[in-house]
């Protein structure tokens, strides 16, 4: 889908609103992460560092952390590695470190979730203002604020409306491209949080 002027306006609106609604994050982007001390936010910050160390440095296994519960180590297979979030954040982690990568991923989820909901509702209703309102509601619901300072995987809600959008488009148009994008966004949902996999099943 090509970005029209209305879509660029919507993205700009959600960007400015996200700056306001997540303040003062932007002014502490490279020094602090949202949430509580010793919360799960620290776990996902560590997982950003661990993913970089395992995939880029090649020094360790991604699925086994030998430094936790030393000397036996700890298996990360049962934990939520949230590969979609980690891999998308990896360029920023390499360039600026895990704190910036964490904050950018969490912040971008507000913008992208709002815009994705806007696209879905505008497509279904043919009403841009209904889409704008839906994007605001979905991006800034209390559930997302609770996860903002705690669970990075559950911030990746932008793929949900996109999966529904392309499911609807696939049913209406029967085009292969829409079906492929449906599969892509469904996969990104699953790879963002295992909770979304079990919910889908």
Kindly report, residue by residue over 96-153, the tens digit of the pLDDT. 988 999 899 999 999 999 999 999 999 999 999 999 999 999 999 888 877 787 788 8
**Single pTM value for the model:** 0.85
Domains of the chain by residue range = 5-200
Question: For residue 65, which phi and psi values (nearest 5 degrees)?
Answer: -105, 100
Among candidate residues 151, 147, 117, the one with its CA nearest the CA of residue 43: 151
Q: How far apart are CA 189 and CA 175, in angstroms?
A: 22
Q: How far apart are CA 79 and CA 174, in angstroms?
A: 38
């Amino acid at each position: 889908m090509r970005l029209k002027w209305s879509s660029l306006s919507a993205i700009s609106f959600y960007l400015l609103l996200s700056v306001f609604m997540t303040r003062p994050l932007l002014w502490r982007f490279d020094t602090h992460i949202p949430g509580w001390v010793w919360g799960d936010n620290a776990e996902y910050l560590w997982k950003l560092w661990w993913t970089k160390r395992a995939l880029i440095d090649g020094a360790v296994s991604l699925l086994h952390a030998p430094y936790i519960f030393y000397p036996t180590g700890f298996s990360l297979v049962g934990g939520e590695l949230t590969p979609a979030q980690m891999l998308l954040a990896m360029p920023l982690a390499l360039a600026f470190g895990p704190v910036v990568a964490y904050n950018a991923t969490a912040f971008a989820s507000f913008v992208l979730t709002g815009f994705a909901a806007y696209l879905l509702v505008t497509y279904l209703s043919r009403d841009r203002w209904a889409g704008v309102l839906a994007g605001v509601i979905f991006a800034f619901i209390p559930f997302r604020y609770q996860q903002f300072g705690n669970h990075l995987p559950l911030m990746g809600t932008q793929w949900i409306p996109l999966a529904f959008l392309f499911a609807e488009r696939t049913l209406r148009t029967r085009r292969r491209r829409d079906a492929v994008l449906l599969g892509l966004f469904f996969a990104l949902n699953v790879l963002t949080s295992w909770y979304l996999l079990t919910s889908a099943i």
